[in-house]
Chain A
Amino acid sequence: GAVVSQHPSRVICKSGTSVKIECRSLDFQATTMFWYRQFPKQSLMLMATSNEGSKATYEQGVEKDKFLINHASLTLSTLTVTSAHPEDSSFYICSAHGQSYNEQFFGPGTRLTVL
């Protein structure tokens, strides 16, 4: 099956610092990757969609200058939370879609805590 990994699984940082989260498709080429945010006891909220080699498309209400997304290769996308604040603390999940699949595959998630 298709596997998606995320690194780190957990990160704690100080307010004002930037944090980078990596999402990798391990055994397939992901033409499109997605980033979701999940608040406690809530569903997943799509933040942005990124296609390899092009700019990400952000959902309404998501600050693109705060959440920088890069999809430099067919197996790697990164989400950088810039100048993080406590309200950015959340569970971030990525997913990936490849051309030969009819579904997305989800990573294990990254728990971000901003102090």
Chain B
Amino acid sequence: AQSVTQLDSQVPVFEEAPVELRCNYSSSVSVYLFWYVQYPNQGLQLLLKYLSGSTLVKGINGFEAEFNKSQTSFHLRKPSVHISDTAEYFCAVSEPGGSYIPTFGRGTSLIVHP
């Protein structure tokens, strides 16, 4: 069985500051890792994903994440946030094969202050 832990339920940050949203996972097999963003009353939008290859993954809106197998982490980073980045962020893990059903973390609310 796999699980995802998002250590912070809420992360407040000032505009133009850097941010890191933490995600740790557990799985007994190889994994695919995802970060999604959800704006109020909207569905999930994929920010980035790690399937294989380079451990540093770049996504949309200036976000990037690094897969660290030894620490079982997949933290999301952005060097300079905007007000428009205020949203809920979900980390998810799935196992290759089958229907790729993701297991989601509880989410981290990123709040960007002016």
Contacts and interface: CB of A to CB of B under 8 A. Distances in A.
A103 B41 contact: no
Interface residues of B, number: 23
A114 B42 CA distance: 19
B41 A97 contact: no
Given A43-B90, A49-B101, A103-B100, A108 B43 contact: yes
A49 B98 CA distance: 12
A101 B32 CA distance: 13
Contact of B42 (A41, A43, A49, A109): A109
A104 B107 contact: no
B44 interface: yes
Interface of A: 6, 31-32, 34, 41-44, 46, 49, 91, 93, 97, 101-104, 106-109, 111
Given A102-B32, A103-B34, A103-B49, A97 B44 contact: no
Nearest to A6: B43
Contacts of A102: 32, 51, 96, 100
Contacts of A108: 42-43
Nearest to A101: B100
B100 A97 contact: yes
Contacts of B101: 34, 46, 49, 104
A49 B43 contact: no
B106 interface: yes
Contacts of A106: 36, 43-46
With a 10 A CB-CB cut-off, give which of A32, A93, A103 has the most chain B CB atoms.
Answer: A103
Interface string B18-47: 000000000000001010100001111110
